[in-house]
Structure formats: C-alpha cells, structure tokens
C-alpha cells in the first residue's frame, strides 16, 4: 500500500488551524476570519456547518485549492479578489482586480441616498466600478433607473455582469466615459459617486492589499485628492433637476474641503457632512437649487 493511500485526509478543524497559522505568520490582521471564509468557499459550506462538524474530512482537491488560496492571501491578495465576489448592502457583487472592493463604509453613501430616493427617480452614478452603489439603490427601490459611468472598459464589463446577475439590466445603462456622460442623457434626481480621492503621494504608503492589488485608476485623486470633487461640483448642474441631491463618498479628512468646494459654487444648499459608523466623515450631501 502506498504512503498516499495510508495518508488520512485533513478535516475542517485541521485546515482552518493550518490556514490561520499561515496567515498569522504573514501578519494578516484578520487571519482567522480570512482563513474561515476561504475554507467555506472551497468546501461549499457555511459558518454553522464548519463549526458543527469540525471532523468532516476535506478531499485532496479541496485541500489543494485551499492551500492555493491561503498562499495567495499570504501575498496580501484581498479575499474578495481570491473569491471573485464581495457582500455589500445584503447583496453579492462580482469583483475583479479591475474594480475597487465594495466596503462597508460605502454602504453609508447608499443608505443616505436611499433616504432621498423615491420610486421612479433617475440616478446618475459616476465612477461606478462594480456598480454596487447604483445597483443597490435600484434593488431597494421600485421603477428607478440609473445611468452609470466609468473610464475603465474592464470595470464597465464587471458592472454590466452584476446588473445582469441581479436582473437589473433593463433599468440601468452603463457607459464608458471620463466622469460625465454627454448632456443628451437628460436630467437626474440623484447623483452618487465614490470617486478616486486618495492623494497621489499617499498611495504607496497604503496597505499592500490596496496599493498592490486595487486599481490605482480608482484610487488616485491627484495631488490633493480633490480633483474629481471639483469637476463634479462645477459640472453637475448640467445633469440635475432643481431639487436634486448629490451624495459623494469622501476620505475621513476631506469633509470640510469638499463642503467648501460645493459652497463656493453657489449652486447648492442643505450641504451636510455625514459620518460613518466609526465617527469619521464619510459622505457629503448637497441639494442643487
């Protein structure tokens, strides 16, 4: 009998412990969580089953796939890119290295927009990436429609795939352009955007998961991080009905600056900075006159 035949397969518990140890050695902060998420995906199981049956054997194929996933995470590749999906607003979005990973902080933007979004409204989503913002708004409203833009052809492909998967293709148009579409698209009731807002000089100091894997095109907000906010503040009026609302995700230290940019235009009122669950500035809301 060969050594392979005598070898006993690892079980859930063994794999999870081994994966966690490898990630901890690599300095991964959420080592146990990441190891569990990867194992659940590989074994097509869930949290409850994993812990209720720790002795369930893992097949050779599952073990090899899991070890490959752990090796990728050790190199600091984000779990979302390894799995190809990310949960957001109670929904699942496909992601790739061509789009930002939807973050919980961005849910603040969607939740705030939903407070003002009524059925049958039109939504303009600039720098849409995976489409998670606009598609979440459409999913939780009735007969709303959206136009989404992105400068990346690959990001557009990801967003269109998510729209199709969610059954929202007929309610959304996704176009490739540099921020704003042509003016022939008409007016909108809601404008949302999570634009690139990180200062160019700061990007190389970010965590490896961000600077080495997430698309720089979606991160880099130029020298002061405000270039896209200026463009939006200056040009949004061409796309907004009177009384329309703008919702912009911002960096934790950009609230006052973005608010001032909007105030200087003299076109907006009810300008407010909304904080996230950690108490940091996260969204700027403004109403167009």
pLDDT band at 7 (very low <50, low <70, confident <90, very high): low
| Domain assignment of residue 15, yes or no | yes
Regarding whether 136 and 22 lie in a shared domain, the answer is no
Q: Is 208 annotated as a binding residue?
A: no
pLDDT band at 1 (very low <50, low <70, confident <90, very high): very low
Q: Is 196 annotated as a binding residue?
A: yes
Rounded to the nearest integer, the mean pLDDT of the chain is 95
For tokens 């405000």, what's the residue? Answer: 226
Regarding whether 59 and 93 lie in a shared domain, the answer is no
| Domain assignment of residue 95, yes or no | yes
Q: Is 197 annotated as a binding residue?
A: yes
| Domain assignment of residue 22, yes or no | yes
For the chain, the domain total comes to 2
Read off the pLDDT of each residue in 42-61 and give the average, rounded to a whole number.
Answer: 92
Regarding whether 155 and 106 lie in a shared domain, the answer is yes
| Domain assignment of residue 80, yes or no | no
pLDDT band at 8 (very low <50, low <70, confident <90, very high): low
Regarding whether 165 and 49 lie in a shared domain, the answer is no
Read off the pLDDT of each residue in 161-176 and give the average, rounded to a whole number.
Answer: 98
Regarding whether 274 and 157 lie in a shared domain, the answer is yes
Read off the pLDDT of each residue in 264-284 and give the average, rounded to a whole number.
Answer: 96
Question: Domain range holding 37?
Answer: 3-75
Regarding whether 260 and 189 lie in a shared domain, the answer is yes
Read off the pLDDT of each residue in 270-289 and give the average, rounded to a whole number.
Answer: 97
User: Is the pLDDT confidence value at 185 over 70?
Assistant: yes
């Amino acid at each position: 009998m060969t050594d392979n035949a005598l070898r006993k397969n690892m079980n859930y518990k063994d794999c999870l412990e081994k994966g966690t140890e490898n990630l901890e050695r690599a300095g991964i902060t959420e080592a146990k969580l990441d190891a569990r998420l990867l194992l659940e995906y590989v074994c097509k199981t869930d949290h409850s089953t994993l812990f209720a049956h720790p002795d369930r054997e893992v097949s050779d194929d599952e073990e090899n796939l899991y070890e490959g996933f752990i090796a990728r995470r050790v190199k600091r590749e984000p779990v979302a890119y390894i799995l190809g999906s990310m949960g957001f607003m109670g929904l699942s979005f496909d992601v790739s290295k061509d789009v930002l990973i939807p973050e919980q902080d961005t849910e603040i933007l969607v939740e705030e927009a939903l407070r003002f979004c009524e059925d049958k409204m039109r939504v303009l989503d600039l720098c849409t990436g995976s489409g998670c913002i606009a598609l979440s708004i459409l999913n939780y409203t009735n007969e709303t429609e959206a136009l989404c833009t992105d400068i990346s052809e690959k990001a557009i492909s990801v967003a269109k795939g998510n729209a199709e998967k969610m059954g929202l293709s007929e309610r959304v148009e996704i176009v490739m352009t540099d921020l704003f579409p042509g003016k022939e698209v008409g007016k909108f009731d809601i404008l949302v955007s999570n634009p690139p807002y990180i200062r160019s000089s700061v990007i190389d100091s970010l965590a490896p998961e961000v600077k080495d894997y997430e698309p720089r095109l979606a991160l880099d907000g130029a020298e002061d991080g405000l270039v896209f906010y200026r463009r939006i503040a200056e040009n949004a009026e061409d796309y907004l009905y009177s009384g329309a609302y703008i919702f912009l995700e911002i960096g934790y230290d950009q609230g006052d600056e973005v608010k001032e940019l909007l105030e200087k235009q003299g076109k907006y009122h009810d300008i407010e900075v909304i904080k996230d669950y950690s108490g940091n500035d996260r969204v700027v809301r403004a109403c167009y006159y």
